[in-house]
């Protein structure tokens, strides 16, 4: 019986965990992610495939989608443990509150990074265009804002509590104006 109550307590703590945003040293994102997962802390580092060119060769590499950011799902007990990881600078705060990212937004980022669609990350939100809901394809049900760059229809997905937006190229007939 004692084992069951312990398991229930751990499950409740895990269920109360929020996704926070860590600000990390430049080019330390992967090292921080690895150290966090080795400590048993649930972390997420969105990566994008990028073609890098050196003098003698070109190579596809996995780079962090958001430079100097890593997402962690922490409880009260593990909140301060993240700050002891080498490379972690601080938690990100937005408008005087911790930058807590909703599970839906984490799932949106995971959906975007695992899709075959072309996407980009912008450090500052773009405030032009229409609000739309995607009604077909992998992003069905998500709401965003349409922007047009170089004649292509793109949808901007804002990540609340973080000054970052994702832009995905989506066919026009997949969109429904709200």
Partners of 156 in the β-ladder: 145, 167
The count of other CB atoms within 10 Å of the CB of residue 52 is 10
- Quick one: 143 exposed, middle or buried, by C-beta within 10 A (0-12, 13-18, 19+)? middle
Whether 139 and 175 share a structural domain: yes
pLDDT tens for the chain, 178 residues long, are 444 444 443 444 444 689 999 999 999 999 999 999 999 999 999 999 888 888 899 999 999 999 999 999 999 889 999 999 999 999 998 778 898 999 999 999 999 999 988 888 765 443 457 788 888 888 888 888 877 655 567 787 877 778 888 888 887 767 777 7
Whether 94 and 7 share a structural domain: yes
Beta strands in the chain (DSSP E): 18-24, 42-44, 47-53, 58-64, 69-74, 88-91, 93-94, 97-98, 100-101, 119-122, 131-134, 143-149, 152-159, 164-169, 175-177
| Domain end residue (candidates: 84, 101, 118) | 101
Q: Tell me, what CATH number does 174's domain have?
A: 2.30.30
């Amino acid at each position: 019986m004692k084992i069951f109550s312990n398991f229930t307590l751990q499950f409740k703590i895990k269920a109360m965990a929020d996704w926070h945003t860590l600000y990390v040293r430049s080019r330390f994102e992967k090292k921080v992610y690895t150290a966090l997962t080795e400590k048993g802390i649930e972390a997420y580092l969105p990566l994008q495939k990028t073609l890098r060119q050196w003098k003698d060769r070109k190579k596809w590499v996995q780079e962090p989608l958001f430079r100097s950011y890593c997402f962690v799902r922490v409880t009260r007990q593990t909140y301060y443990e993240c700050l002891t990881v080498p490379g972690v600078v601080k938690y990100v705060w937005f408008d005087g509150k911790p930058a807590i990212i909703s599970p839906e937004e984490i799932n949106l980022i995971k959906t975007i990074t695992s899709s075959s669609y072309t996407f980009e990350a912008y450090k500052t939100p773009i405030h032009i265009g229409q609000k739309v809901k995607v009604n077909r394809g992998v992003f069905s049900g998500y709401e965003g804002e349409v922007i047009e760059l170089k004649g292509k229809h793109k949808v901007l997905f804002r990540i609340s509590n973080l000054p970052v937006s994702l832009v995905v190229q989506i066919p026009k007939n997949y969109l429904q104006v709200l």
